[in-house]
Chain A
Amino acid sequence: MAMEKIKRIIPYAVILLVSAYFYVLAGRFGVVARAGNPGPDFWPKLLLGLTMAVCLYEIVKTALLHRGKALEDDAGVEKAEAPKRYPGPLIIGTLMTFAYAYFVNILGFILCTFLYLALFMVVGRYRKVWVIAANSVIGTVLFVVIFMKVVYVSLPLGQGPFQQFSLLVLKMLGIK
């Protein structure tokens, strides 16, 4: 039961601490308002103060007022209804998504997108290799044509040899 309480309190405690840190930062904005007027720190401090008050209320309520029985019952309901979880694919998928943001400037949109499409489908537990390959190639080409030729979005080309590769593909697709 104590664990259940702690689990409930953690999100509010984290938000409370982060808000307190930002509250301190807001006091150092450097621009001072004219006398009698609210300054640039007024609005953020108001919001952060409200957030901290609400978090404190939730922490106190959970720690002092919640009856153990209710907590146990809730946990039971959650256990009964919880769908099957796949933490492995979730972690890999999330890391891959961050990796995409990191590598897209280096590998270029074309190569990075092709790899991401193929790998994300695999991580999503899809196993038909030919469908994955076809979707990745056709998807990448389609997106490049639509966004670089029709919508004129300047997608990253990559660096060094990857840039040469991107330019070659673009030339093959007739995109200048």
Chain B
Amino acid sequence: MFDILSHLGIGFLHCFQPINLIFLFVGIIVGLLVGVLPGLTLVMGVILVLPFTYAMDVTPAIILLTAMYVSGTYGGAPTSILFRIPGEPIHVPLLWDGYAMARQGQAAKALGWTICAALIGGLFSAVIMVTLSEPVAKFALTFSTPEYFAIVLFGLTSVVSLGGGSLTNALISLCLGLLIASVGVDATYGAPRFAFGSPILMDGIEFLTVMVGAYGVGEVLTRLGEGFTTVPVETVGSMKTRMPSLKETWSIAPTFFRSSIIGTIIGIVPGAGATIASFVTYGVEGQYGKRKAKMGTGIPEGIVAPQAAATASVGGALIPLLALGIPGSGATAVILGAFLLHGIQPGPQIFITSTAMIYTVFASMFLGIILMSVVGYIAIKPLMKILDFPESVVSTFIMLLCFIGAFSIRNSISDLWLMVAFGVVGYVFEKIKFPIAPMVLGTILGPLAESSFMTTMISFQNDWTIFFRRPISGVVMALTVIALVLPLMRKFREIRHSKQAT
């Protein structure tokens, strides 16, 4: 523990270097702006900033992206509360109590509760992240390929089962992602697969190309098909924030605590990000909270629960990324991409090889959360000004950033073609209600899933029971089965209930 604290202290010193502070500040501002704009999602924002990090050192690059990730979980809150426009899906639960509170003439108070929740939830999860990451990484050093395969499989299963929509569509999307990852020269045998003689396909398809296309271009095309018709924003005369008193905050301490814990845990689970965290905690508050009957009428608990959980999920999501090298969400996948582009492989070894850098990033999380709260408190009015920009202009620049982002991964026009093609796939998926997240996560985790599976099969003479017989992989495989069975049981229960009702 003392080691961790001393590393963190050094991390804070590094973090106060001007270059790191500048990028931390830029990340916070850009993240807030991305959150405010309804057409731009948090993951998309992080993807679009990625090309700017190519010429940067790895530490400021990761600080920039994580700062964006943190502040993106708050940026959409003011628009939800003031204008009833959720900048991000994360902030939909804020419409229920946040907007209701604003309509009762307490908009400033509602905004104050949001900042307070983001601050406490974020700092709580940052503490958990610092405390858990290194021990988890040390534990992961004992892992072999069966354990890695089991963990990746669990992650992929979670993405399918936690998606909320059709299980079969999510499964197809996931298989497609895993297949995209199998394009190119196979790592075990050196056999070219689905390359059709193309040199760029021989090298495989970069997951960033898929991400930029499916999330960036796909989303812009969807909005274009809807005519870029954003709901006009009403003019709000006063956009002040009034922080709750200590006594008021203490009175709903259990809500803060409960939501922060749930948010962090949901962040750790691959595939379940800030959006699921905010909905789940709102539901938990509605079922078990002290004032559950008043939820939805404009009470602080209805604001604190989703916001604290959303920001807390960030610290949780960074644990598997840094300790195991396994990203569990879109934003952490982009951060993984930034690490890889700078020649660093996150995973258990990173705490030995890049200790200073990791703890500087940890320290930047603490500073970033505090800075985000300060900026959110002071600069709410200028931030809202971005809503005045016409959506078609903003979207055109998003497209351009997508082009540059895809091109600069390998300096190849072929990647540009692939990115545009995946953009169309993203659009079609949106139309036929296939989720994009499983495809993207399949593309990212595909190589690790296949190589750990193949190596296990070759090492253990094709004995697939090995995954169930080893203690750690056995437990994870059991969790995987539970993750698959639970949504099926829920579905059957729903069908039974609806049959009984009719």
Contacts and interface: CB of A to CB of B under 8 A. Distances in A.
A101 B416 contact: yes
B114 to A, nearest CB: 28
A100 B423 CA distance: 14
Interface string A19-51: 000100110011101001111111110011011
Interface string B440-456: 00000000001001100
A124 B389 CA distance: 13
A79 B457 CA distance: 51
B411 interface: yes
B55 A26 contact: no
Contact of A139 (B52, B400, B403): B400
Nearest to B178: A47
A94 B221 contact: yes
Assign chain A's interface to a size class.
35 or more
Contact of A47 (B54, B182, B392): B182
B236 interface: no
Contacts of B404: 143, 147, 153, 155
Interface in B446-473: 450, 453-454, 457-458, 461-462
Contacts of B461: 36
B393 interface: yes
Contacts of B416: 100-101, 104
A98 B427 CA distance: 14
Given A97-B423, A139-B397, A154-B411, A124 B193 contact: no
A11 B416 CA distance: 26
User: Chain B binding site: helix, strand, loop or mixed by DSSP?
Assistant: helix
Contact of B391 (A22, A43, A124, A152): A124
B227 interface: yes
A43 B186 CA distance: 10
B225 interface: yes
A93 B221 CA distance: 8
B429 to A, nearest CB: 10
B395 interface: yes
B339 interface: no
Interface in B144-178: 168, 171-172, 175-176, 178
Nearest to B176: A51
Contacts of B191: 29-31, 39-40
A151 B462 contact: no
A22 B55 contact: no
Given A15-B172, A54-B171, A31 B400 contact: no
Nearest to B170: A54
Interface of B: 51-52, 54-55, 168, 171-172, 175-176, 178-179, 182, 186, 188-194, 217, 221, 224-229, 390-393, 395-397, 399-400, 403-404, 407-408, 411, 413, 416-417, 420, 423-424, 427, 432, 434, 450, 453-454, 457-458, 461-462
Given A38-B457, A147-B408, 12 more contacts: A39-B189, A50-B171, A83-B229, A94-B221, A101-B416, A101-B417, A121-B393, A124-B391, A135-B393, A139-B396, A153-B54, A153-B411
